[in-house]
Amino acid sequence: MALRKRYGRWSYRFKVDGREYSGTTDLVATTQNESRAKGIEAEHRLALVEGRHPTRRIVVREFGDAADSFLEWAEVEYRAHPNSYKRIKTSFASAKLFFGREPVSLMNEQRIDAYKFNRISGHKVRDITLRHDLHALSTFFGYAIKQRWARENPIRNVSIPSDEDATRIYVISPKEEKHYFKLAAKNQDLWDLGRLMVNQGMRPDEVLALARTDVDLVAGQVHIRKGKSKAARRTLDLTSESRSILARRLQSDSKWVFPSFKKPGRHIFRMNSAHDRLCEKSEKGGTIIPFVLYDFRHTFATRMAQAGVDLATLAAILGHNSLRVVQKYVHPTADHKRQAMQTYERSLAAIAEASKEESEKQTQ
């Protein structure tokens, strides 16, 4: 008989054209499962004779349970990149709510498209968030295929926002900046956060995580000791305004620069909520504020580039280890590009004049 019991499961072994083949049915070796096991063995034998791959048996798992197993694997797999794991875990919070008890093997591109629609219309997420959500699901399906929970990755047949489309960057104009901080003056934390970001280019969570020991007013520096990469852990020289803001905030007895945010990473949404309320107030007054808090960092980067700071230095200040990443933050204005061309044209004229003088000398 081709069937046999191995490690409590029905396995099989047979010969085709003098060559031995073996495998497992993944079925518990009981009398009730024997008939099904014979069917799997027969399918494998027939597939070999017909010159095709045998169909693997799918293990039925509900998405919620499968997601929990996947996240346990991902936490270990991404141990060297904890922020990547956190991003995946955040994406799966919404995915588990949407797919719930659906069998992973029945999830197709139609269901993924429905999930996309739910995230865009129901949760109003931006393209960058949707991109993260879909990439997290794609990683999940790669894992699910190995576990035999699915036969294919349906994400491959779904449109994902491109990196260029998903990267939303807004550069705040001087007029918008003046209006914003006039309204923010009544919220000292929000005002200080915005001013430090636009002066230093720090991420909002980096500002809120500052401790008293991170600030050196004598040297005029601030130390960012934690970050998602080695480049993110850096020392920044303070502008005069930043120095003044931090000196005022350090007058309290707290060990934190922003004492209301002892767990900055978990409470950044409070600042975003304050920003949103300010935007609503501005809109009621007839002026729309079209940017988010993070755009103060984008604005800092663009202004630094326009001031002539090279990309390598800018990358170090922003805490990036890649120039390619920094380029996304740099958006020269039309006037800046016009000035660059005028500078280039003057250099061409100088070259032409020098060449003319050289020719005249040679003819004399």
In angstroms, the Cα distances linking 215 to 220, 224, 245, 313 are 8, 9, 11, 22
Categorize the per-residue pLDDT at 104 as very low, low, confident or very high, splitting at 50, 70 and 90. Answer: very high
pLDDT of amino acid 83: 72
Average pLDDT over residues 163-168: 58
Angle between helices 188-200 and 240-249 (to 10 degrees): 150
Label residue 268 left, alpha or beta by phi (over 0 means left) and psi (-120 to 50 means alpha): alpha
Indicate the average pLDDT of the chain: 87
Res 139 pLDDT > 90: yes
Q: What pLDDT does residue 95 have?
A: 95
More confident residue, 54 or 164: 54
Partners of 223 in the β-ladder: 235
- CA 229 vs. chain centroid, Å, equals 13
pLDDT at 213: 96
pLDDT at residue 334 greater than cutoff 90? no
Domains and CATH numbers, the chain: 3-49 (no CATH), 63-166 (1.10.150), 174-327 (1.10.443.10)
pLDDT exceeds cutoff 60 at 166? no
Question: What is the rounded CA–CA span in Å between residue 221 and residue 263?
Answer: 23
Alpha-carbon distances, residue 279 vs 184, 260, 274 (angstroms) = 10, 22, 9
Q: What are phi and psi of 200, to 5 degrees?
A: -115, -15
pLDDT value at residue 54: 64
Lowest mean pLDDT among 6-15, 43-52, 83-92: 43-52
Q: Judge whether residue 291 has pLDDT over 90.
A: no
Q: Tell me the mean pLDDT in the region 15-19.
A: 82
Which helix (DSSP H) or strand (DSSP E) does residue 321 occupy?
none
Proportion of the chain above pLDDT 70, given as a percent: 93
Those residues whose C-beta lies under 8 Å from the C-beta of residue 262, and which sit 6 or more positions away, are: 256
